[in-house]
């Protein structure tokens, strides 16, 4: 496990920009110039959040979502998964760069704060879980780390045991038949021992990167089976599919 001392140390190092490494005097971790250069998503499908360029949208919704609406209300993401966001996320996820994770999570928290000032707020925040094997190997769940920062800023409760990942799945992009893709995801998630879910009807699920929505959709279906009627899905970055 990554020690809390190491987290504290990384979070309190002199403040530098996570992109250009310039020293910053305002205590932030991202300079204005780098922030403006980040690949912010400007237009996407209002349901699945697909932000591929030239994606035809009809009343803001893509063809795939009109044909088969996803099991979440909306997927919202800050960035396209490209440079420098891809390396920033990799640093956070694979090299325990909690300073980067914190800076990105703060950007997400700000965005969610603005969104929920104008929309009903969810009752609970739920990070997409890792399998036990992956958690042991990595020492932390990056989605939970992001969710903790967001929860603090939005003053919403977190439940990390609401949904459990029963096994690792292969990236959906590596599987070529629809049968193997379905089999890959089947029962990959189940509801955990979470009294916090009692009476909850509306949650926000958070992840670092959404590639296809197939995996997170399985997670949402598990929650739907537990009576959660509305799910918003939030992530740092979205790959173009």
Q: Which is nearer to Zn ion, 18 or 96 (CB)?
A: 18
Q: How far is the CB of 90 from Zn ion (least distance, A)?
A: 18
d(CA 169, CA 218): 11
Residue 124 contacts Zn ion per CB under 5 A: no
Nearer to Zn ion, 52 or 173 (CB): 52
- Rounded least distance, CB 59 to Zn ion, Å: 11
Q: Of 140, 143, 147, which Cα lies nearest the Cα of 10?
A: 140
Residue 104 found at the interface with Zn ion (CB under 5 A): no
- By CB under 5 A, the count of residues binding Zn ion is 11
Residue 59 burial by CB count (10 A; 0-12/13-18/19+): exposed, middle or buried?
exposed
Shorter beta-carbon distance to Zn ion: residue 36 or 177? 36
* Beta pairing partners, 176: none
- Which residues have C-beta within 8 Å of that of residue 103, sequence separation ≥ 6? 18, 28, 29, 30
Given candidates 2, 8, 11, 20, which one binds Zn ion under the rule CB under 5 A? 20
Q: In whole angstroms, what is the distance from residue 23 CA to residue 39 CA?
A: 22
Complex with Zn ion: residue 73 or 93, whichever CB lies closer: 73
- Shortest distance, position 144 Cβ to Zn ion, whole Å: 27
Joined together, the tokens standing for residue 198 give: 């009692």
For Zn ion, the closer of residues 10 and 57 by Cβ is 57
Q: By CB under 5 A, what part of segment 28-67 binds Zn ion?
A: 31, 34, 45, 47-48, 50, 62, 65
- Does the footprint of Zn ion cover residue 17 (CB under 5 A)? yes
Residue 163 CB, nearest distance to Zn ion (Å)? Answer: 23
Asked if residue 147 lies in contact with residue 127, where contact means CB atoms within 8 angstroms, the answer is: yes
CA distance 14 to 198: 43
Instruction: Report angle CA 132, 133, 138 to the nearest 5 degrees.
Output: 95
> Which residues between 199 and 238 bind Zn ion (CB under 5 A)?
none
Q: How far is the CB of 81 from Zn ion (least distance, A)?
A: 17
Q: Which is nearer to Zn ion, 65 or 96 (CB)?
A: 65
**What are the residues whose beta carbons fall under 8 Å from the beta carbon of 153, sequence distance 6 or more?**
106, 109, 110, 113
Residue numbers at the binding site for Zn ion (CB under 5 A): 17, 19-20, 31, 34, 45, 47-48, 50, 62, 65
């Amino acid at each position: 496990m990554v020690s809390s001392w190491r987290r504290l140390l990384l979070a309190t190092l002199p403040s530098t920009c996570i992109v250009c490494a310039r020293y910053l005097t305002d205590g932030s971790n991202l300079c204005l110039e780098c922030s403006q250069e980040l690949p912010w998503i400007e237009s996407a499908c209002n349901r699945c959040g697909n932000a591929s360029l030239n994606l035809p949208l009809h009343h803001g919704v893509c063809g795939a979502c009109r044909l088969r609406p996803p099991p979440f209300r909306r997927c919202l993401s800050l960035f396209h998964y490209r440079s420098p966001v891809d390396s920033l996320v990799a640093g956070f996820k694979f090299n325990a760069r909690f300073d980067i994770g914190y800076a990105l999570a703060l950007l997400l928290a700000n965005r969610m704060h603005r969104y929920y000032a104008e929309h009903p707020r969810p009752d609970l925040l739920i990070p997409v879980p890792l399998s036990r094997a992956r958690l042991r190997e990595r020492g932390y769940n990056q989605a939970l780390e992001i969710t903790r920062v967001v929860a603090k800023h939005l003053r919403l409760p977190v439940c990390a045991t609401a949904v459990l990942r029963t096994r690792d799945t292969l990236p959906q992009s590596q599987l070529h038949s629809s049968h193997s893709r379905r089999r890959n995801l089947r029962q990959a998630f189940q509801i955990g021992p979470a009294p916090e879910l009692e009476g909850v009807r509306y949650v926000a699920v958070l992840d670092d990167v959404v590639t296809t929505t197939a995996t997170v959709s399985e997670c949402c279906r598990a929650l739907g089976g537990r009576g959660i009627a509305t799910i918003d899905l939030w992530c740092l970055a979205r790959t173009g599919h």
